[in-house]
Amino acid sequence: MAETNLTTSADLVAQSIDFTEQFTQGIQTLLNALGVVRMHPMTAGSQIKIYKSEVTKVDGAVGEGEVIPLSKVTRKLADTLTLAFKKYRKQTSIEAIQSAGGVTPAIVDTDNKLLREVQKDVKKDLFDYITKANASKTTASGADFQKAMAAALGQLAIKWEDYDTQTVAFANPLDLYDWLGNQKIDVQNTFGLQYIQNFLGFNTIILTSAVKQGTIAATVADNINYFYAPISSVGQLFNMTSDETGLIGVTHDSVNNNLTYETVVTMASVLTTERLDGIVLSTISAPTDAGK
């Protein structure tokens, strides 16, 4: 008869399933909030292209009867990302498990901390391309948060006028709450991010400190893609737990030669924009009283 409170293989699988479900549900909720429907399963090692537009504009002062010289807009490759496996491993010693009072505080709670770090890596590529200044991006400005948002929305309407797509803004929470003052809004949370839906004309506003205070970045759902290499098939070789989408693979195991308990996580995914010229950077040009 097994001893009371024995950690079994079923417990290990259950913890792997819980980790997988938390990640998958989080990324699906985030993609739904962003309006992203384009999820691209690919093989590891595939290359992802990021493009920009370069404009060569000639002088528009053309004399009567003269041939009008050509201006040119060229779509050029801005960057290439490689879809590669990212691997994470965490070990918890028998001493840490015992002193923490058992498996739940020592393993599960620290797994949740690891999950947050994994989420940060997924968001990094998107934030890098959304927030960094680039000559291909359109600029706008407004005297306060609301007007800067409106200016960004107007530029998006011009850039994406032939698309029926959702609009997404990325803003620093300090800018929003400085403008809001004591007003209350319904803020939701997913994947380590706060977001607001259907506010100030945008379908979704993501609040993140990755955006510099005083700046708002905006784009549309059609410009955001999620590329991933399904873990499902190869993960079985390493006894990894995944779901049918295979977005992430997780396994838990005891390591007897040093009496530790190990969590191993792997995934290959990139959440990024396709076109740099499809992004608007709007600046809050002057501070205003809160709530105005």
Mind listing the pLDDT tens digit for each residue in 31-51?
Answer: 999 999 889 999 999 999 988
pLDDT digits (tens, 9 = 90+) for 72-130: 667 788 889 999 999 999 988 888 888 877 777 778 888 999 999 999 999 998 999 99
Reported as type and span, the H/E element at residue 170 is: strand 167-171
What does the pLDDT read at residue 168? 97
Give CA separation, 224 vs 59, 121, 216, in Å: 35, 16, 17
Choice between 3 and 103, residue whose per-residue pLDDT is larger: 103
pLDDT at 55: 63
* pLDDT higher than threshold 70 for residue 9: no
- Averaged pLDDT score across all residues of the chain: 87
pLDDT(287) > 60: no
Query: What are the start-end ranges of the H helices in the chain?
Result: 9-34, 94-100, 103, 109-131, 145-159, 173-180, 232-235
Task: Reduce the DSSP state of residue 98 to 3 states and report it.
Answer: helix
Residues 9-53+73-284, CATH architecture: Alpha-Beta Complex (3.90)
Task: Please state, in angstroms and rounded to a whole number, the distance separating the CA atoms of residues 233 and 235.
Answer: 6
The region of weakest confidence among 23-27, 189-193, 231-235 is: 231-235
Residue 23's SS3 state is: helix
Q: Given pLDDT bands bounded at 50, 70 and 90, which one contains residue 15? A: confident
